Chain A
Amino acid sequence: MNVYLQELKMYRKSLITWTIALVVLVVLILSMFPAIAKDAQLLNKLLSAFPEGIQKALGLTTLDLSTVLGFYSFVFIYVLLVGSIQAMNLGTSILSAEVRERTADFLLVKPINRSRIITYKLLAALTNIAITNVVYILAAKLMMDIVKKAPYDTKAFFLVTFTLLFLQLYFIAFGIAVSVFFKKIRTVLPISLAAVFGFYIIYLLNQTLHDAKLSYVTPFAYFEPAYIVSNVQYDVTYVAVAVGFFTVFTIVSYGIYTKKDIPAI
């Protein structure tokens, strides 16, 4: 319990910063909605003239940008991007910090086993993510209600928004798994940025390619907002893949960290 509380304390500042960043981001983006909605109506007219096959091929059909939910889902990728960096950073740093800050010789000689340490640290990371999500959801919902012109499907809104949490869970687990492979990580951010943007670019690339296999590689493709909005549910296959990866990453982390040599200072 003490490790958990200590971790919460140490990441308090970063938690506040990232949460504010996400809130500011969603407020700014949604405040653009009224201006864009007008243009979007024009687009809808144009698009409706297209044959449905082509609309589908372009991936334009399912998100109606003239509705607040459609617009929100369309720009949600930037929220995911920022949220993923937060999570990846937290995951990569939380275990490796002890070696980086040269405190491993302090913590690991205490009467506590290593799986306990991972568990507490994982819980602390999850708590951080949970707090971020609660604040974010409140801000996003509030902002949606301010800028909306017509009622929207609240369930679909929550389904889209919850994907932030899922993606963050994925990146926490991925970050921890990555960190246990390194002997010592001196600076965390280059690693987290490379990982998140690497996945993001694969996702962007795949929007052009529409390759099913490639879509399993990048978590950004697991919860496609267009699919969620039109079906008001998640794609079960991808949920299973996400859960699978999360489980594997977590097991690997426990397995390796409990057997790892801690380098001398």
Chain B
Amino acid sequence: MNIVLRELRANMKALIIWCVMQVFLIYVGMLKYAGMAEAGNSVNDLLAGLPEIFKTMFGLSTFDLTHVGGYYGVFFLYFILLGSIHAVMLGAVIISKEERDKTADFLLTKPVSRVRIITSKLVAALINIVAFNLTTLIASIIIVDMYNQGQSITGDIIKLMIALFIIQLIFLSVGVGTAVMTRNTKKATSVSTAVLLITFILSMAIDMYSKIENLKYLTPFKYFEARQLMFGGQFEAVFIVLSALIVIVLVTVTYIFYKKRDMQV
């Protein structure tokens, strides 16, 4: 418990900054919605005739922007981008920072097992990403409601937040996994950033070039997409299973590697 509290306190400032960023993003975005909604429907009719890959290419055009749900759907990409950066950095740093700050000797000579240390750190990280997710959820519901004149989209928002949470979990485990497999914080953050950038750009490439669609299993950014989840869509079982598998494997690896790790001075 003491380790969890210590970690929560250590990450408090960063968490607040991230949450403020999220709320600000949602607010600024929705502020503009009012103007957009008036722009009329002609654009949407014309867009309907375009081939699918070009719609995805332009990101925005897949959604009916005059409808609050369609407009909000655009945000999902930003959420998963920010959420994954937050989670991957959090995971990479929370494990490796004891050695970075030369506190490893302090913590590991206390009468606690390494398993306990990892568990506490994971719990603290989990609380952080849940807080990030809940902030996004609550801010979305409130701010969207302020501008929504049609049907409530709270159900869709909740669905998107569940998807966001799964992606956060994946990247958190990528972060902690890299941390135990690398020598120091700098390497851990570099490698996990590389994973993040490569998977992100791959997801964009898949959007542009349909022939490489099968690579979508490699990038979490393609596991859940707003336009598939919203308006009555469902989660795809295969991606849920795949996500669970990635998280379980990486977390197990984290425990095993950390137990055997030689602490650097």
Contact = CB atoms under 8 A, between A and B. Distances in A.
Given A32-B208, A35-B209, A75-B208, A58 B43 contact: yes
Contacts of A239: none
A32 B209 contact: yes
Contact of A207 (B54, B60, B211): B60
Contacts of A46: 49-51
A159 to B, nearest CB: 23
Given A190-B93, A197-B85, A208 B60 contact: yes
B257 interface: no
Interface stretch (B140-148, B183-191, B247-255): B183-191
Given A186-B97, A186-B101, A193-B85, A208 B74 contact: yes
Q: Which of A28, A39, A207 has the most CB of B within 10 A?
A: A39
Interface residues of B, number: 46
Chain A interface category by residue count: 35 or more
Given A29-B205, A75-B208, A194-B85, A205 B58 contact: no
A28 B206 CA distance: 12
A26 to B, nearest CB: 11
Contact of A58 (B14, B25, B61, B208): B61
Interface stretch (B76-84, B129-137, B156-164): B76-84
Q: Is the interface of B mostly helix, strand, loop or mixed?
A: helix
A46 B54 CA distance: 11
A204 B77 contact: yes
Contacts of A35: 209, 211
Interface string B21-62: 100010011001000100000110011011101100011110
A1 B193 CA distance: 33
B190 A187 contact: no
Q: Which of B14, B89, B211 has the most CB of A within 10 A?
A: B89
B46 A186 contact: no
Nearest to A42: B51
Contacts of B54: 39, 43
Contact of B100 (A32, A75, A187): A187
12 contacts: A25-B201, A32-B205, A43-B54, A186-B101, A187-B186, A188-B186, A189-B89, A190-B189, A197-B82, A205-B28, A208-B65, A209-B32
